[in-house]
A and B are shown apart, each in its own frame.
Chain A
């Protein structure tokens, strides 16, 4: 009512976002993202595989989100719960819809060898807005990935990996997710904490890329929104995208001199 939230933020204000790239030395690419208290770490490993039969010039990107009991008491140990599976599917959709990486770029030898990028997200602290954090972590980690050069030895037919020569991935688009919590069809707040998410009657997540294209409007049920309210969300998402892009560029620049 006073346009203020329990943690002192305004309705349209995001929590402090921090990102740390390249923290996992054993992974081919990694990123740690903190949105307030919500912490997600993403590690990317690249391995070999045969390309799929129906598209022999494509590689694979396999995202997997893990919400362990470590991050919040609402999750139990055992097989992935519904929220983890839904988040994994969401990230898979973001990768496909936004064309952040063309799977053709992951092909080494047509029909014989291609890269598989296993993107593993582990939530270390769950304080709401896991979708935004995971999308940001994905983007940052993919920018950090260095793939070694691979040549196929013609005599033996085996692949030879040259670890000294590495190339970064070709990131075509930069999707950024913005999540909103809906209260009673009227009030929209940006970047909900876990407490706000529990009380909300619905959530909306909008993924936009730098050209102003909508990669995804993800509204899994919850109270209804008029088209005008959705439009407001989209406008806010556009401004958020510029903020995030600036942050990521700053971080990438800071690790460049290596």
Chain B
């Protein structure tokens, strides 16, 4: 599976170009800023690997417990793919700002974080992609639901799927579902992952340079 990569830049303390991840249906947009490997506070320092920090800022209001939970999910996913052992006693900070929310927010945040990590040139052992599945009352599965579909859905499943054997890195569910439906959702997510990777690596990749601030559109045709 070929993997396209943005030109690598040496990582300094400052922020790199902010990649933006947007899904086509209704423009859910998350801006990701990546800083690192940078200096870390002695209290948070880890002697053998990099300390990953994720800050998720909602569009309105102050971040609360809900955002903290999301931050932990994204942080653990990034920690799993980052080769933190190559940068011990440093910190890698990912700041995610929600620009607009029209459904599938967690998946969008995951995609933005992955793009950001790639853009900053940080060493990773695999890429990952976030996918949301919504199960409606009849048991039909819809991928990348809009906010309206999410509300009406019986259950919403979000997965982060890695490029290594399409393993599941992250899984959260909202609402009850049967075991078979969850398996179906996972399979659907993995199928969508394949398409998304093709999108990133295949033709139509937007060429961009450092400092231009060109938003990285990662749309998937439905």
Which chain A residue has the least Cβ–Cβ distance from B78?
A221
A231 within 8 A of B: yes
Pair B75/A221 contact, Cβ less than 8 Å:
yes
A222 within 8 A of B: yes
Known contacts A86-B72, A89-B68, A219-B172; decide if A201 and B167 are in contact (CB<8 Å).
Answer: no
A202 within 8 A of B: yes
A85 to B72, CA, bound (A): 10
B47 within 8 A of A: no
Contacts of B75 in A (CB 8 A): 221
Interface size on A, residues (CB 8 A): 36
Pair A213/B80 contact, Cβ less than 8 Å:
no
B101 within 8 A of A: no
Pair A221/B182 contact, Cβ less than 8 Å:
no
A110 within 8 A of B: no
Contacts of A222 in B (CB 8 A): 76-77, 79-80, 169
Pair B178/A225 contact, Cβ less than 8 Å:
no
Which chain A residue has the least Cβ–Cβ distance from B186?
A227
Interface locus among A41-49, A50-58, A91-99, A143-151: A91-99
* Chain B interface category by residue count: 35 or more
A244 within 8 A of B: no
Contacts of A97 in B (CB 8 A): 155, 173-176
CB within 8 Å of A: which B148-175 residues? 155, 157, 160, 162, 164-165, 167-175
Pair A212/B178 contact, Cβ less than 8 Å:
yes
CB within 8 Å of B: which A205-225 residues? 209, 212-225
Which chain A residue has the least Cβ–Cβ distance from B162?
A224
Contacts of A83 in B (CB 8 A): 72
Known contacts A97-B176, A214-B177, A221-B160; decide if A226 and B165 are in contact (CB<8 Å).
Answer: yes
For residue A74, give the distance in angstroms from its CB to the closest CB of chain B. Answer: 13
0/1 interface trace, chain B 55-84, chain A, CB 8 Å (1 if under): 000000000011011011111111110000
Contacts of B186 in A (CB 8 A): 227, 230
A14 within 8 A of B: no
Which chain A residue has the least Cβ–Cβ distance from B110?
A221
User: A-side binding surface: helix, strand, loop or mixed?
Assistant: mixed
Contacts of A214 in B (CB 8 A): 173, 176-179, 182
B183 within 8 A of A: yes
Pair B72/A220 contact, Cβ less than 8 Å:
yes
Which chain B residue has the least Cβ–Cβ distance from A238?
B179
A88 within 8 A of B: yes
B9 within 8 A of A: no
Partner of B168, one of A98, A99, A219: A219
Pair B182/A85 contact, Cβ less than 8 Å:
no
A90 within 8 A of B: yes
For residue A99, give the distance in angstroms from its CB to the closest CB of chain B. Answer: 7
A204 to B172, CA, bound (A): 10
A82 within 8 A of B: yes
For residue B58, give the distance in angstroms from its CB to the closest CB of chain A. Answer: 14
A201 to B176, CA, bound (A): 27
Partner of A221, one of B73, B173, B187: B73
Contacts of B173 in A (CB 8 A): 97, 214-218
Contacts of B66 in A (CB 8 A): 89
For residue A166, give the distance in angstroms from its CB to the closest CB of chain B. Answer: 30
A160 within 8 A of B: no
Pair B178/A86 contact, Cβ less than 8 Å:
no
Partner of A227, one of B74, B164, B168: B168
A258 to B53, CA, bound (A): 52
Which chain B residue has the least Cβ–Cβ distance from A175?
B176
Which residues does B use to contact A, with CB under 8 Å? 65-66, 68-69, 71-80, 126, 155, 157, 160, 162, 164-165, 167-179, 182-183, 186-187, 190
A-B contact pairs, 8 of them (CB 8 A): A82-B71, A212-B179, A213-B177, A217-B157, A217-B171, A220-B170, A222-B76, A227-B168
Given A219-B170, A224-B168, 20 other A-B residues pairs in contact with their CB atoms under 8 A:
A82-B71, A82-B72, A96-B174, A97-B155, A99-B176, A202-B76, A215-B173, A216-B172, A217-B157, A218-B171, A218-B173, A220-B73, A220-B76, A220-B172, A221-B76, A221-B78, A221-B160, A222-B77, A222-B80, A225-B168
